[in-house]
Chains A and B, each alone.
Chain A
Amino acid sequence: MNEPITYNTGYLDEQTKRMIRRALLKAVAVPGFQVPFASREVPMPRGWGTGGVQVTAAVIGEDDVLKVIDQGADDTTNAVSIRSFFATVARVRTTTRTDEATLVQTRHRIPETPLAAGQIIVYQVPVPEPLRFLEPRETETRRLHALEDYGLMYVKLYEDIARYGHIAKTYDYPVLVNGRYLMAPSPIPSFDNPKMHDNPALQLFGAGREKRIYAVPPHTSVESLGFEDHPFEPQRFDRPCEICGSSGVYLDEVITDDAGGAVFVCSDTDHCERASLAGAEDEEARA
């Protein structure tokens, strides 16, 4: 007969959680430095947030309130899946509201609502090495980081400018953390990069497949690379969200017909919902 199989609270066993916490402490102590850790298998496929899931599992406690987003939205399938995973194995309260969450796990976005002191944001990272596509070898990139030799990256950015007139990096835009380590911010759009700088929340990054953890402690300098005559330019949208009317937010382009018609709406569903609600209340008050 099949014996019932049980798993520890939060899925990971306590020894593994301690191992990950040690890696996290080191990561916080050396901002932007990729700490190798003995990444475990988790019950979802590699590349689907296994690093973020392990970091979350290692820091989550029963008093935490968890928010999970993918592409800025709480209701994308993978966000739903990870949220329900922790609701089941860690029995924590979950929320879609950024300001209610103590812990936010994210893929590809930073919420529009500014994070506050005491909050933790966990990024899912596919490729933690910012130099990987310029130098495939781990032994070599490790040496480049040790020597703070980031010339390769500046040359790539320069070549973009020479070829296209712009830096052609629109997401996972490289940043220099605390004036020392070059870091991949995970594939968030460059639009979100400025939010990382001097953020009061603790930012943790987990790359499960690549077995690396790194961190940006609260109020740390995060500088997106650029040149004096070609400074970093985050992308902007020159229109507001068609649902809530917010401007200065990241928008999704939603195709509405076969003729290529499209509307632009907030990528951050929590922000959009609350802005719509606030807008409706204002109108009521005026009426």
Chain B
Amino acid sequence: MYVAVKGGERAIANAHALLAKVGRGDPAAPTVEVDQVTGQLGVLVARVMTEGSLYDPHLAARALLQSQGDVLEAVTLIRSYRTTLPRFGCTLPVDTAGLPPQRRISATFKDLPGGQQLGATFDYTHRLFADGGTEGPPPRAEDPAGAALPRVADLLGAAALIEADSHPGQDDVEPGDLTREPTVFPLTRAERLQALARGDEGFVLGLGYSTQRGFGNNHPFAGEVRVGEVEVEFDAPELGFAVPLGRIEVTECQMVNQFTGSADTPAQFTRGYGLAFGRSERKAMSMSLVDRALRAEELGERATAPAQDEEFVISHSDNVQATGFVEHLKLPHYVDFQAELLLVRRLNEEFRSRGADGPGAGQEVPA
């Protein structure tokens, strides 16, 4: 006689013990320390912070170690810790033009005030395995003055060739917060940008790529990509002034896109915007492409491609949600399956009895 499977509790405990054992690898090898991860896997840490919506390299590294390198698992860890933290208030908007970038390039101008600065980049590296590990020669100090550099879009903005990055009254409404307020479509651009920043790098990359291949093309130019540290200031109403909290590293991308103008607007370049924590260039660039694509309706363009469809893009960009729901198919579904079995059996029986003596006997031959 079948006895209902007991011992789910013991099975879970054993599975977790096995997971820890497998994750430890060769016990003779030293364990990886958190500082090694923050220092030597910085790009990975940046991704976990960006998609986890929490700037904390130490915690992100811890999450990566605990999740054995599973990025989405690490993001989930960060998110489900972040959401329990009390919120004391908001910071002021960060000023990305105000601080010296360690990297800043523009594809739209040969040279520009402050110059092009390659900084720490994989660009132009030959993707050949290096024998000497990741260490290279010490960089030569050619840092000019470390002066603040104007943003490229602002140079164009001065001649009104590009849409302004602010519009009158935009600060009257507090930007929404997807993590604290219900999401209801249609979203504001601020909410969309937040969702894209949290969105899965691979998904946003794929959508951005799709716009370049003609599914919602918007003729992008990388107006500027910059990486650097910005100061974060906390707005403390009871003090009456902003308190500096420290600096965070961010990557910003301003995509400049063609726009032919309309009856009431002259031809002008438009913008797509991307911002991510740490060194996250691919993410920031993809995000700015998708941001621009999602502005189709606002700019009176015909929305025909997936990347221009807000409900499609935003509902599916969150990898914590996506991976959870895809993987939940592992859970038992036997009650529903049983219900379907009953129906299929019944339909089959009816089909057979119809075939034997029903009105359609001899007419329908099952394939």
Q: Give me the interface of A with B, judged by CB distance under 8 Å.
A: 2, 5, 7-8, 11-13, 15-16, 36-43, 45-48, 50, 70-73, 75-81, 84, 107-109, 126, 136-139, 164-166, 168, 170-172, 187-191, 209, 211, 235, 237, 242-243, 250-254, 256, 263, 265, 267, 269, 272
Q: Which of B133-169 contact A (CB under 8 A)?
A: none
What distance in Å separates the Cβ of B355 from its nearest Cβ neighbour in chain A? Answer: 14
Interface stretch of the complex, out of B1-9, B103-111, B243-251: B1-9
Closest chain A residue to B181, Cβ basis:
A38
In the complex, how many angstroms separate the beta carbon of A173 from the nearest chain B beta carbon?
A: 9
CB-nearest residue of chain B relative to A168?
B343
- Contacts A48-B328, A243-B1; is A171 near B336 (CB within 8 Å)? yes
Taken together as a complex, chains A and B put the C-alpha atoms of A139 and B314 apart, in Å, by 13
Q: Which 3 residue pairs are nearest across A and B when measured between Cβ atoms?
A: A46-B324, A47-B328, A45-B324
Q: A166-B343, A269-B4 are in contact. Are A36 and B183 (CB under 8 A)?
A: yes
On whether the beta carbons of B182 and A187 are closer than 8 Å, the reply is: no
Is B24 an interface residue when CB atoms closer than 8 A count as contact?
no
- A46-B320, A71-B334, A243-B1 given; A139·B186 CB < 8 A: yes
**Most chain A CB inside 10 Å of its own CB: which residue of B181, B185, B331, B342:** B331
In the complex, what residues of B have CB within 8 A of residue A43's CB? Answer: 80
Which residues from B are CB-within-8-Å of A77? 8, 11-12
**B320-A253 in contact (CB<8A):** no
Contact A71 B335 (CB under 8 A): yes
Q: Are A187 and B5 in contact (CB under 8 A)?
A: no
In angstroms, how far is the closest chain B Cβ from the Cβ of A47?
Answer: 3
Cβ < 8 Å to A, chain B residues 44-84:
62, 76, 79-84
List B contacts of A70 (CB < 8 A): 331-332
A36 with B184: CB separation less than 8 A: yes
- Number of B interface residues in the complex (CB < 8 A): 56
Do residues B83 and A16 form an inter-chain contact, with CB atoms below 8 A? yes
Question: Does chain A have a CB within 8 A of B34?
Answer: yes
Give B residues with C-beta under 8 Å from A. Answer: 1-2, 4-9, 11-12, 34, 62, 76, 79-86, 178-186, 311, 315, 320-328, 331-336, 338-343, 346-347, 350
A43–B315 alpha-carbon span in the complex (Å):
21
A73 and B339: CB pair below 8 A?
A: no
Supposing A7-B84, A13-B84, A170-B343 touch, asked if A189 and B179 sit within 8 A by C-beta, the answer is no
Given contacts A72-B335, A166-B343, A187-B333, 9 further A-B contacts (CB under 8 A): A16-B84, A38-B180, A42-B83, A84-B9, A138-B311, A189-B339, A191-B339, A237-B342, A256-B2
Known: A139-B311, A267-B335. A46 touches B325 (CB 8 A): yes
In the complex the two chains form, is B5's CB within 8 Å of A108's CB? no
- A/B interface sample: 23 pairs, CB < 8 A: A16-B83, A36-B182, A40-B179, A41-B83, A43-B80, A45-B328, A46-B320, A48-B331, A50-B324, A71-B334, A75-B9, A109-B335, A137-B185, A138-B315, A166-B343, A170-B336, A189-B336, A209-B321, A209-B325, A211-B183, A252-B334, A254-B2, A263-B1
